Amino acid sequence: MDEETGTIIREGVPSVLNAFDEFALNLAVELKNEVEEDVEIVALSMGPPQAKEALNKCLAIGADRAVLLTDMVFAGADTWATSVTLSRAIKNIGKTDIVFMGQEASDGNTAQVGPEVAAHMGIPQLTFVTEVESVNNSHVVAKKETDEGFVRIKCETPVMIACMPTPGFEPRIPNIREIMKAKKKEYQEWSHEDLGGDPSEYGLDGSESVVIKTYSPPPKGEGIIVDDEPEVAVKKLMDFFEDEGIL
Amino acid sequence: MARTKLSDDRDLTEEQRLFKESLLEWAERNMPLDRVIKMNREGHPYPRELIKGLADLGVIMGTVPEERGGMGLTWKDQALIAEIIGYIDPSIATAAGFMAVETGWGFTIDRHANDEIRKKYVQPAIRGDKFIGIATTEPGGGSDVANFKCTGEKDGDEWVLNGEKTFISGVEEAKQIGGGYWVNVRTGEKVPGAAHKNMTAFFVPIDSEGLTPTEPYDDAGRNSISTGGFIMEDVRVPEEYMLGEKDKGFYYTMEGFDNARILIGASAVGVTRRILEEAADYIKEREVFGSPLAKYEGIQFEFVERYTEMEASRLMVNKVADMQDTRYDEEGWAERSGKAKTYSPTEIAKWISMIKYKVPHLAKDTADDAMHWLGAAGYSSEYIFETAWRGVMSYCVGAEGGANIQKIVIGRETLGKDYVPYK
Amino acid sequence: MIEIHEDKCIGCEKCLKTCPVDALKMKEGVAKVDEGLCISCSACIPACPVDAIEPILKASKAASADYSGVWVFAEQHDDRCRPTGPELLGKGRELADELGEELCAVLLGSDVGKLSDELIAYGAEKVYVVDDKILENYTTEAYTTALVTLISKYKPSVFIFGATHLGRDLAPSVAGRMGLGLTADCTGLSITEVEDVKVLLQTRPAFGGNVMADIVCPNTRPQMATVRPHVMQPLEPDPERDGEVIQEHVKISPESIKTEILEIMEHEDSGEISVEEADVVVTGGRGAGGEEGFKMLRELAKALGGTVGCSRPIVEEGMMSKSHQVGQSGKTISPELYIVCGVSGAVQHRVGVRGSKYIIAINKDPKAPIFDMADFGIVGDASKMIPMLIEKVKEKTC
């Protein structure tokens, strides 16, 4: 049920909850606890049916509702097709104030889906966010990492926030009570038919970048390993430096 | 090298898988093995913040119905939780205090207590703010439960209790954070030939006037939780603090033992599994005479035998948990999914006795074997094995019912009543 | 493309000011878009007070023959070119030669024109400069509008960015709006042929570096990629090189910007070379011997003319700041010489340093995975090895 401030939405990944997404969800739950108005957190994921488990965990951590976009049509999507799929689902879900995402996924590591979803939704983006200081009906204030350090930035909502965990971040552990409560929360599965549009817009067909080959990285050549007393070992290392012309 | 894993989670429900994940994550942050070893070395009382941590996780008294502060978990769920607690703390101290005593007996207290006791003691214990326990054993009798000497006499609308209880878990902890005990007393003339008949159960707050804790024992193991006792000298409790009905105490006590023993059996499965996993990591790495220990049949075969027994024990515990769920289902106590079979209380008692004597012994024997595989290293407290051995021994020799008593119960149910050695 | 919901439009005309290509006009009291002119930059969307404008983003199906030029996004900060521009120009030169196309750099900022010379020295044949106060500090919206406008005007076939925080914020924003395929964090770029057309082959690691993938964007132009920093090599800068500077003016209005920077907190410039820029990096992990151990590592780094790095647990313990963290969640580096002590070498660390020329590892555990990638490894206690090594190095270099 949509409430006064509307919904906060989070995107997850299949099967195992990826650390960045888990951080994003933790941020959303923390915010929900701080804000006075009623807030709904919807956990959204695109993946195979097994992804239900990860969404279950999201419900236990504190999401109020979960939606899994699952359909063979969605398979093989690159970041473009994924962001098309997600943004349409978010539109279906309803009025959104913040779209939380993990900065990157532990398999693809592209970190692109967030900004691309923001583009499709026509909303601003904040990436590499480590902290959300406050949120109200019109703005968020967040701290984000830059190449030089950090900035504190204010942005109008609705906004897409891609989150990056700080070192030493420990995610909330859902307790047994919360796990049991999660059983009663709403969980839905949607296919491409629920989103509309043409099947060719999704999945492999809808992708703009194509993987033509995957392979193992070339192995590094055998190195020299020594197991000696410090005097001997260090001498051997200095010899190596000399041979290679280092120093 | 990846750590050895010896569990199959396929049979778990989604929720049970999440319980397991949460518990293991919590343990990694708060109670890794070296802390367990340290806690046992430093001794009781059990750290307050860990009691609270366990309670916040929701592991204590989960089977108490939701409307009274529990979570209405099935015994299957609770047995899984107990197994993980055993896995996390192979000294079995945590399972002793918080599975057997607070969950097994605590659940039973909740069943027979009035609303005041539930509000003031049971529900805070679920939250980790108080400790509630069981006091049945006396200097004169542990296994011989019916031969108890503590007395209770009515005086107006109060009962006056006298006597001494010994080998009671958690008294120091209860004294520290508050709480109380289920105490059995004789409330009438001892009936010849039926000594169990006039046992009445009372809930006694730990700070009652006239209740003096006695010096805790210096136990061989499970040292992070206290084993002590108390003396009652004209301790007064209101009539409403009687648990259940007068003279029915013995039957509630049998019920309480059953509930605690299931969770001991389950946690001992976890202890055994942890011992095997830790030992496996060691024997795969450690080399003697040019090969890792694990390659020698003498060691590998012993390992495999214990592993097989561990899985068999787990199946037994699962069966007992299912039986337990039907028992409480029959009495309409909490919602359970429908089970086809129902079992008689004596049948359940037989199975509970089987796991109660078998699994702690298995854990002890596995720890024993592991120490042999490791040699001097296994004898030291750098590893968990000697701590585990010392801990689980308590459940072999007597805690919650000595093994030999369990065997008599099984004998009665298999060979028949005519062959019971003594009443 | 955008869609204007006419029933919502209140005729305030705020959106008109934001459009860099003047595609919006008022007609019968409501705003209308000229579909032939709209470049999908989305600058108008934030300006509308009643949310009447919606993006309709479609994948761009481009005729590749219409597009030409290898473009490089050159980052600047504090009046200096950041290393990404020169690195990308180095690779860009190869790509441009293979394609027979022009190599250009794109420079955005305020009062940055002077940096164009440096970019030309590093190989740019042309530098497109958009110099505007509104571009002084990076905002996604302003930079995106600028780039989308330039791309629509000049139609490059390739556009590459550094996979810095800025690049990873900007590139997908541009690609998203223009419906382009974008490949992230590439470690390799080359030209290959797909159906007789020369295309950009993008190579990147996936699954934590355990798998390499070759990717192409067959239908969209420009082909976009972000490139892992410090993997590509810049050309030798040649101040005599010739190049053209083209000043571009892009209409970017404040109404299209929804973010406001409240505070900038930059890492203290301790005068130390950063781990990314140093030629020699000496890294310590949990097994490096704590405070004492790191003191030794600092001395060694100094003796070698390099800087100290650390693994993630060291940052978590508060011993060093994140700017020194080396590894997947820290910095990716590729120094000439990388000496690593007391780090077991989990995949996340290895991924961050595999570009190093020489890797020397010291660890007590002979089975530590770090030895798999070391050119020279010593099994032993770093606290004993390092002091000796410092001595020997000082002997040699003094």
* Tokens linked to B353: 């006795």
Q: How confident is the model at residue A20 (pLDDT cuts 50, 70, 90)?
A: confident
Residue B1 lies inside a defined structural domain of this protein: no
Q: How close A159 gets to chain C, by Cα (Å)?
A: 9
Evaluate if residue A60 carries a pLDDT over 50: yes
Question: Higher-confidence residue: A80 or C120?
Answer: C120
- CB atoms under 10 Å from CB of C347, counted, come to 14
Instruction: Identify residue A82 by its one-letter amino acid code.
Output: T
Residue B3 lies inside a defined structural domain of this protein: no
Here the CATH number for the domain that contains residue B218 is 2.40.110.10
> How many residues belong to chain C?
398
Q: Within this chain, do residues B214 and B235 fall inside the same structural domain, yes or no? A: yes
Q: Is A106 helix (H, G, I), strand (E, B) or coil?
A: coil
What sign results for the dihedral spanned by CA atoms C159, C161, C167, C172? positive
| A180 vs B contacts (CB less than 8 Å) | 15, 71-73
Element (H, E) at C162: strand C158-162
| pLDDT confidence of residue B69 | 92
Q: Within this chain, do residues B212 and B277 fall inside the same structural domain, yes or no? A: no
Rg (CA), chain B: 21
| pLDDT confidence of residue C211 | 76
The nearest alpha carbon in chain B to A174 belongs to: B22
Q: Which CATH superfamily is domain A19-201 in?
A: HUPs (3.40.50.620)
CA dist., res. C199 & res. C218, Å (int): 7
CB A172 within 8 A of CB A28: no
pTM value? 0.84
| pLDDT confidence of residue A3 | 28
Q: How close B118 gets to chain A, by Cα (Å)?
A: 19
Residue B4 lies inside a defined structural domain of this protein: no
* Tokens linked to C25: 């006009």
CB C11 within 8 A of CB C29: yes
For an interface test with A, the pick among B13, B14, B78, B103 (most A C-beta atoms closer than 10 Å) comes out as B14
Q: Within this chain, do residues B213 and B331 fall inside the same structural domain, yes or no? A: no
Q: At what angle do helices B249-285 and B385-397 cross, to 10 degrees?
A: 160
CA dist., res. A236 & res. B210, Å (int): 77
For an interface test with B, the pick among A176, A177, A180, A183 (most B C-beta atoms closer than 10 Å) comes out as A176
Q: Is C168 helix (H, G, I), strand (E, B) or coil?
A: helix
CB contact residues (below 8 A), chain A span 33-72, against chain C: none
pLDDT digits (tens, 9 = 90+) for C21-63: 999 999 998 999 998 889 888 899 988 999 899 888 877 777 7
The backbone torsions φ and ψ at residue C34, rounded to the nearest 5 degrees and listed phi first, read -85, 105
| pLDDT confidence of residue B1 | 58
| C42 vs A contacts (CB less than 8 Å) | 119, 122
Facing A152 at nearest CB: one of C220, C262, C389: C262
How far is the CA of B366 from the CAs of A47, B50, B274, B277, C266, in angstroms? Answer: 43, 27, 10, 11, 57
Do A176 and B19 make contact, defined as CB atoms within 8 angstroms?
A: yes
Q: Within this chain, do residues B137 and B276 fall inside the same structural domain, yes or no? A: no
Q: According to the 3-state scheme, what is the secondary structure of chain B?
A: CCCCCCCCHHHCCHHHHHHHHHHHHHHHHHCCHHHHHHHHHHCCCCCHHHHHHHHHHCCCCCCCCHHHCCCCCCHHHHHHHHHHHHHHCCCCHHHHHHHHHHHHHHHHHHHHCCHHHHHHHHHHHHCCCCEEEEECCECCECCCCCCCCCEEEEECCEEEEEEEEEEEECHHHHHHHCEEEEEEEECCCCCCCCCCCCEEEEEEECCCCCEEEECCCCCCCCCCCCEEEEEEEEEEEEHHHEECCCCCHHHHHHHHHHHHHHHHHHHHHHHHHHHHHHHHHHHHHCEECCEEHHHCHHHHHHHHHHHHHHHHHHHHHHHHHHHHHHHHHHCCCCCCCCCCCCCCHHHHHHHHHHHHHHHHHHHHHHHHHHHHHHCHHHHCCCCCHHHHHHHHHHHHHCCCCCHHHHHHHHHHHHCCHHHCCCC
Chains that touch B (3 or more CB pairs under 8 A): A
| pLDDT confidence of residue C64 | 78
How far is the CA of B330 from the CAs of B326, B327, B334, in angstroms? Answer: 6, 5, 9
Facing A53 at nearest CB: one of B14, B26, B71: B14
Its domain, for residue B257, covers: 250-419
| A57 vs B contacts (CB less than 8 Å) | 18, 21
- CB atoms under 10 Å from CB of B292, counted, come to 14
- Which residues have a Cβ under 8 Å from the Cβ of B126 and sit 6 or more positions away? B55, B60, B61, B64, B69, B70, B106
| pLDDT confidence of residue A6 | 43
Do A173 and B58 make contact, defined as CB atoms within 8 angstroms?
A: no
pLDDT digits (tens, 9 = 90+) for A121-165: 999 999 999 999 999 888 999 999 998 889 999 999 999 999 988
Do B58 and A176 make contact, defined as CB atoms within 8 angstroms?
A: yes
> Among candidates C56, C351, C34, C23, which has minimal Cα distance to C212?
C351
Do C172 and A114 make contact, defined as CB atoms within 8 angstroms?
A: yes
Evaluate if residue A9 carries a pLDDT over 60: no
Q: Is C124 helix (H, G, I), strand (E, B) or coil?
A: coil
Q: Within this chain, do residues B151 and B239 fall inside the same structural domain, yes or no? A: yes
CB-based burial of residue C251 (10 Å sphere; 0-12 exposed, 13-18 middle, 19+ buried)? middle
Q: How close A5 gets to chain B, by Cα (Å)?
A: 30
Evaluate if residue A63 carries a pLDDT over 90: yes
Q: Of B101, B131, B161, which closes a domain? A: B131
Work out the percent of chain C whose per-residue pLDDT is above 70: 96
Q: How confident is the model at residue A18 (pLDDT cuts 50, 70, 90)?
A: confident
| B22 vs A contacts (CB less than 8 Å) | 173-176, 179
Q: Within this chain, do residues B156 and B198 fall inside the same structural domain, yes or no? A: yes
Do A111 and C184 make contact, defined as CB atoms within 8 angstroms?
A: yes
Here the CATH number for the domain that contains residue B46 is 1.10.540.10
CA dist., res. B329 & res. B74, Å (int): 10
Facing C377 at nearest CB: one of A146, A152, A223: A223
pLDDT digits (tens, 9 = 90+) for A190-233: 999 999 989 999 988 888 888 888 887 776 667 888 888 888 88
Residue B2 lies inside a defined structural domain of this protein: no
- Which residues have a Cβ under 8 Å from the Cβ of B399 and sit 6 or more positions away? B96, B100, B167, B169, B264
Work out the percent of chain A whose per-residue pLDDT is above 70: 90
Residue B63 lies inside a defined structural domain of this protein: yes
Q: Is A214 helix (H, G, I), strand (E, B) or coil?
A: strand
Evaluate if residue A15 carries a pLDDT over 60: no
pLDDT average, residue stretch C113-125: 94
Q: Helices (DSSP H) in C155-244: which residue ranges?
A: 165-178
Q: Within this chain, do residues B164 and B303 fall inside the same structural domain, yes or no? A: no
Tell me what the pLDDT averaged over chain C comes to.
89
Do A179 and B19 make contact, defined as CB atoms within 8 angstroms?
A: yes
DSSP state of C325: B
Facing A177 at nearest CB: one of B17, B58, B81: B58
Q: Within this chain, do residues B341 and B369 fall inside the same structural domain, yes or no? A: yes
A170-184, B28-42, C318-332: which range is least confident on average? C318-332
* Tokens linked to B1: 């090298």
Pairing of strands B199-205, C244-247: unpaired
Facing C259 at nearest CB: one of A145, A154, A220: A154
pLDDT average, residue stretch C205-226: 84
Q: Within this chain, do residues B224 and B152 fall inside the same structural domain, yes or no? A: yes
Q: Which residues of chain B have pLDDT under 70?
A: 1-2, 329-341, 423
Q: Within this chain, do residues B347 and B366 fall inside the same structural domain, yes or no? A: yes
Q: Of B228, B249, B270, which closes a domain? A: B249
Sequence ranges of the domains in chain A: 19-201
Evaluate if residue A14 carries a pLDDT over 70: no
pLDDT digits (tens, 9 = 90+) for B358-392: 999 999 999 999 999 999 989 998 899 999 999 99
Residue B320 lies inside a defined structural domain of this protein: yes
Q: Which residues pair with B168 in a beta bridge?
A: B228
Do A80 and C374 make contact, defined as CB atoms within 8 angstroms?
A: no
Q: Of B100, B131, B162, which closes a domain? A: B131
CB B201 within 8 A of CB B253: yes
Q: Within this chain, do residues B213 and B332 fall inside the same structural domain, yes or no? A: no
CA dist., res. C181 & res. C172, Å (int): 9
Q: Return the number of CB contacts < 8 Å for A and B.
A: 42
| A19 vs C contacts (CB less than 8 Å) | none
| A53 vs B contacts (CB less than 8 Å) | 14, 17
The nearest alpha carbon in chain A to B57 belongs to: A175
Do B58 and A175 make contact, defined as CB atoms within 8 angstroms?
A: yes
Do C304 and A247 make contact, defined as CB atoms within 8 angstroms?
A: yes
| A177 vs B contacts (CB less than 8 Å) | 58, 71
Tally of structural domains, chain B: 3
pLDDT average, residue stretch C54-80: 87
| Domains contained in chain C, CATH given | 2-55 (3.30.70.20), 64-256 (3.40.50.620), 280-397 (3.40.50.1220)
CB contact residues (below 8 A), chain A span 186-225, against chain C: 206-217, 220-221, 223-225
Do A180 and B25 make contact, defined as CB atoms within 8 angstroms?
A: no
Facing A115 at nearest CB: one of C173, C206, C217: C173
Do A176 and B21 make contact, defined as CB atoms within 8 angstroms?
A: no
